[in-house]
């Protein structure tokens, strides 16, 4: 499985774990569940755990851009957890353009990332 999606309703947080290539069905599953979670909880927090990223199906690019455009303001905080060399710097760069607080953590700090989101 390339992705796993977990909800923490008590903390208004979703967690997405990525390992491998993200398929169109992975994206559709996550997007539909996340939209329902946002409808139920309003503004939410997200943790993205990237163990390994081998890209995504290009067919989802348009839908992913539309999802981000529609829901970007629905996220208050984002924790990005990864040991991949380029993901942390890329997330930090992109955070300049986002209206949310974003922090980057190493895989060994996964519990710290979850704790940070529980406390904010």
Tens-digit pLDDT profile for residues 83-109: 998 999 999 998 888 889 999 999 999
pLDDT digits (tens, 9 = 90+) for 23-73: 999 999 999 999 999 999 999 999 999 998 988 889 998 998 899 889 989
* Contact of 56 with 24, CB cutoff 8 Å: no
The token duo for 28 is 């559709």
- In the chain, the DSSP E strands lie at 3-8, 13-22, 44-56, 75-82, 101-105
Q: Which domains does the chain have, with CATH numbers?
A: 3-114 (3.30.750.24)
What pLDDT score does 97 carry? 87
The full length of the chain comes to: 120
pTM: 0.92
* Contact of 64 with 26, CB cutoff 8 Å: no
* Contact of 47 with 116, CB cutoff 8 Å: no
In DSSP terms, 5 is beta-bridged to 16
HSE-CB at 4 with a 13 A cutoff on CA atoms is 8
What pLDDT score does 1 carry? 56
């Amino acid at each position: 499985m390339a992705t796993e999606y977990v909800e923490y309703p008590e903390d208004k947080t979703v967690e997405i774990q990525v390992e491998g290539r993200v398929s169109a069905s992975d994206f559709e599953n996550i997007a539909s569940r996340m939209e329902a979670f946002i409808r139920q909880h309003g503004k939410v927090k997200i943790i993205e755990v990237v163990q390994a990223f081998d890209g995504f199906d290009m067919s989802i690019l348009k839908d992913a851009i539309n999802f981000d455009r529609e829901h970007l303001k629905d996220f208050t905080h984002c924790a990005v957890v990864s040991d991949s060399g380029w993901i942390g710097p890329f997330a930090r760069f992109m955070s300049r353009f986002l209206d949310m607080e974003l922090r980057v953590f190493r895989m060994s700090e996964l519990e710290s990332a979850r704790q940070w989101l529980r406390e904010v």
